[in-house]
Amino acid sequence: MKFVTCPSLGKRALSEFTYGGRYEQEPAQETVSEKEWADYVFYHNGAPKVQIEWWYHRPTGIWFLFERDTLTDRINKVDFARKGMTHEA
């Protein structure tokens, strides 16, 4: 089983978390064009990389941000979603 160390919670099984997709800056709703919106929703470079992702801890209902490598599945950093990234995993 895979474990991840989170602030406050300590070492938790990854199976307690639900993946919430990539973290991306949403374009401004007022000024966004249809093309920009389609790009934001659908089109991206899906090649292996280190990316920031939403992860939901079901038992406590807390959203976290993980910095994870999609090639090796290694989680580099973890923090509360509302704080940004500071802690090492």
Interface positions with another protein (CB under 8 A): 1-2, 15, 18-19, 22, 34-35, 38-39, 41-48, 53, 68, 70-73
Instruction: Give the residue with the Cβ less far from another protein, 60 or 71.
Output: 71
DSSP 78: E
Which residues are CB-neighbours of 56 under 8 A, at least 6 positions away?
17, 18, 20, 62, 63, 64
CB of 4: closest distance to another protein in angstroms? 12
- 16 vs 85, which CB is nearer to another protein? 16
The secondary element (H helix, E strand) that includes residue 65 is strand 62-69
